[in-house]
Amino acid sequence: MKIVVLDGYTENPGDISWAPLEVLGEVTVYDRTSYVEDPLIAERIGDAEVVVINKTPISKETIDKCPNIKTIAVLATGYNVVDYEYARSKGIPVQNVPVYGTDNVSQFAVSLLMEICSHIGAHNASVHAGEWANNPDWCYWHYPMIEVSGKAAGIIGLGRIGVNTAKILRAMNVKVLAYDAFQSEAGKAVADYVELDELLSKCDFIFLHCPLFPSTEGIINKDNIAKMKDGVILINNSRGPLVVEQDLYEALESGKVAAAALDVVSTEPIKKDNILLRAKNCIITPHISWATKEARERIMNTTAENIQSVMDGNPIHVVN
C-alpha cells in the first residue's frame, strides 16, 4: 500500500511520529504542497493508493489523473478542500477525523476571553520592558480588568465544543445562553436555548462554535451586531467566514464591540491587507486552537484507523 502525505507539516512538524501510518505501507511525506490547484499535486500522488491531506485541494482533475486512489484521508474534521461528490462517483471514500480536539478548542476559546479580560500578555511584556521595576506604585494596569463572574455568555452552535465551553463558563459563574438549530439534552444541561436575537441582546460575551453553512456564513454582520449589547466581546475560533470582517472592523472602531479575539479569518493564511489587522482591540492567532501535541496524536491515530478500515474493506468516518 502506497501512502502519500501531501501537507504533513502542520500535523507533524517533527514532535510526533508517522509510525501509525508507516506500519500500514510505504509512506512518503511532503511537508507542504500547494494550497491551490496545481499540477504538482497529481504528480506527487502518482500511483499512490492512499492520499493524506490537511488543506491541499483534491479536485476532479487530480482524481482523474491518479486512478490508483482508493481513499482520501483528511487530517482534520473539515473536508471542503476535496471534491467529495466526484470522489464518491468514482467509488473513493473521503474520510475525516470527526472528534479529536473538543477540549483543546474549548480551552482556547475561554483562554481568548481571559486574555481580553485580564490582558496578561500585555502586562507581562510591560514588566519585562522594565516598567514595573521603574514604577512608583506597587502595581499598575494599562487596561480595564473585566471580571467574568456574573456575566452572561452566548454560544452560537452548541455541539460538542459548544457544550464543553459552556461547562467551563458555568464553572466560572457565567450564565450561558445558546442558539442552535438542533437542541440536545447535553446542551440543555449546560445552557438555556434562546432565539438568536435574544442571545445577541442579552450577552456580554459571544462565542462562535457553529459550523460554516450557507445559513451561518456571515452570521456576525452589521445587522446582528446592532442587536448586541454595547461593549460586547466576540470570540471566534470556529470558522472565519462566520464573520463579515468589514462589519466587525467598524464595530470595533466605534466601540460597539469592545474587543474581539479570533483564531480564524476569512482567508488563511491571513492576507496582509485584512482589515482586522488594523482594528482596535482585536486579538488574532494563527488557527491554532486544535494544535496541541495530544490532539495531533489523536488525529494521527484516527487517520491510521481510517486507512486500515479501507484495507479491511469496511471504511469508517466516510463523509461522502
Active site residue 239: yes
pLDDT 10s digits, 35-64: 999 999 999 999 999 999 999 999 999 999
Phi, psi of 64 (to 5 degrees): -65, -30
Averaged over 15-22, what is the pLDDT? Answer: 98
Looking at residue 98, what is its pLDDT?
A: 93
pLDDT at 176: 98
Nearest Cα residue to 48 out of 26, 81, 78, 32: 26
- Give the separation between CA 34 and CA 45, rounded to whole angstroms: 13
DSSP one-letter string for 50-110: EEEESS--B-HHHHHH-TT--EEEESSS--TTB-HHHHHHTT--EE---SS-HHHHHHHHH
pLDDT at 313: 96
| pLDDT averaged over every residue in the chain | 97
> Residue 228: what pLDDT?
98
Domains of the chain: 2-100+293-311 (3.40.50.720), 102-284 (3.40.50.720)
Encoded amino acid at 10, one letter: T
Q: What is the mean pLDDT of residues 82-88?
A: 97
Residue 159, amino acid: G
Catalytic residue among 88, 160, 170, 287: 287
| Percentage of the chain modeled with pLDDT above 90 | 98
**Residue range 250-254: average pLDDT?**
98
User: Of 22, 85, 195, 268, which residue is the catalytic one?
Assistant: 268
> Residues 268-297: what's their mean pLDDT?
97
Q: pLDDT tens-digit profile of 198-217?
A: 999 999 999 999 999 999 99
- Find all residues with CB under 8 Å of 171, minimum gap 6, and list them: none
Across residues 126-141, what is the average pLDDT?
Answer: 97
From 119, 209, 239, 296, active-site residue: 239
**Residue 9: per-residue pLDDT:** 97
* Alpha-helical segments (H) within 255-317: 293-311
State yes or no: is 268 an active-site residue. Answer: yes
